[in-house]
Amino acid sequence: MSRKPTTHELEALIAAHAAEIAALKAENEKLAQRVLHLGARPDMFS
């Protein structure tokens, strides 16, 4: 039978996911700035 994760383990998992989301948002912003720099309209990809 598998055990339930501890609160500490769940908090660590949430923190890891939050860090990953922050990194993805930063990468997305960086790519968006490159697109704007290349002259593409911001609404082209929505």
Predicted local confidence at residue 45, as pLDDT: 63
Predicted local confidence at residue 2, as pLDDT: 87
Note the residue count of the chain. Answer: 46
Predicted local confidence at residue 39, as pLDDT: 80
* DSSP helix, strand, coil percent of the chain (3-state; round to 5): 75, 0, 25
Closest to 36 in 3D by CA, of 26, 25, 24, 44: 44
Tens place of pLDDT per residue across the chain (46 aa): 689 999 999 999 999 999 999 999 999 999 989 888 888 666 666 6
Predicted local confidence at residue 21, as pLDDT: 99
Predicted local confidence at residue 11, as pLDDT: 98
